[in-house]
Amino acid sequence: MLETNHQSSQGRLYLVPTPIGNLKDLTFRALEVLQQVDLVLAEDTRTSSHLLKHYQVNKPITPYHQHNEHKVLQHLVSQLSEGKTMAMVTDAGTPGISDPAFLLVRECVKAGIAVECLPGATAFVPALVNSGIPTNRFVFEGFIPVKKGRQTLLKQLQGEERTMIFYESPMRLVKTLLDFIEYFGAERRVSVSRELTKMFEENKRGTLQEVHDYFAAKAVKGEIVIVLEGLG
């Protein structure tokens, strides 16, 4: 049975990490939860359906993403209150890390509904650990603003002594590295991880100038994690 701590007539929300690239990275426990819940909430039902089909999980799946979460929030909370169990998954990684989940978790906590987050894949941890940049203290910034607030944030981070972690899209990587050179200096150490856990995984390490020049000279594809050295 899913519920291990105590029996209850109330439902439970499970936050289920999914592989960031390699489908073999789904945990046994995550698979068990997906097989037993009443409903799977998915950021993109097409992406998640592929994963469920791969593992022969035949469960109802419904969209839950940043464009509809406010509309469906109370309905989902009501269903959970009535005893349904749900698994929240995103396209890749752990729900709530630069992905939808926060609003639903907050409302469940307010309503006294049990929320359980399974351990599992998230992109920034392997990127940080293999970067060669200090891992004892770090700050996760996620996706930095594209326009409004971008310069303000970068100015605030200029004095940051902890290692900084960012997510970025391939189309904006070179521009972001150029901005980092302007605000942090060309000699600041950085590691850029691309396509983690996939066949063409790449981890490029060096100074900001070196890594910028490398990616500026090639077509960039895949999910990107930037790990930037803090102020020494």
Three-state secondary structure of the chain = CCCCCCCCCCCEEEECCECCCCHHHCCHHHHHHHHHCCEEEECCHHHHHHHHHHCCCCCCEEECCCCCHHHHHHHHHHHHHCCCEEEEECCCECCCCCCCCHHHHHHHHHHCCEEEECCCCCCHHHHHHCCCCCCCCEEEEEECCCCCCHHHHHHHHCCCCCEEEEEECHHHHHHHHHHHHHHHCCCCEEEEEECCCCCCCEEEEEEHHHHHHHHHCCCCCCCEEEEECCCC
How many other β-carbons are positioned within 10 Å of the β-carbon of residue 206? 15
> Residue 10: pLDDT band by 50, 70, 90 thresholds?
confident
Ordered by start, the domain boundaries in the chain are 12-117, 124-228
6-20: average pLDDT: 83
Q: How far apart are CA 142 and CA 166, in angstroms?
A: 5
- Structural tokens at position 152: 């303000």
Residue 180 has pLDDT above 70, yes or no: yes
What digits encode the pLDDT tens for the residues 89-120?
Answer: 999 999 999 889 999 999 999 999 999 999 99
- Selected from 3.30.565.10, 3.40.1010.10, 3.40.190.10, 3.40.50.300, the CATH number assigned to the domain covering 12-117 reads 3.40.1010.10
Residue 151 has pLDDT above 90, yes or no: yes
> Residue 2: pLDDT band by 50, 70, 90 thresholds?
low
- pLDDT score, position 37: 98
Residue 6 has pLDDT above 50, yes or no: no
- Selected from 3.40.50.2000, 3.30.950.10, 3.30.565.10, 3.10.20.30, the CATH number assigned to the domain covering 124-228 reads 3.30.950.10
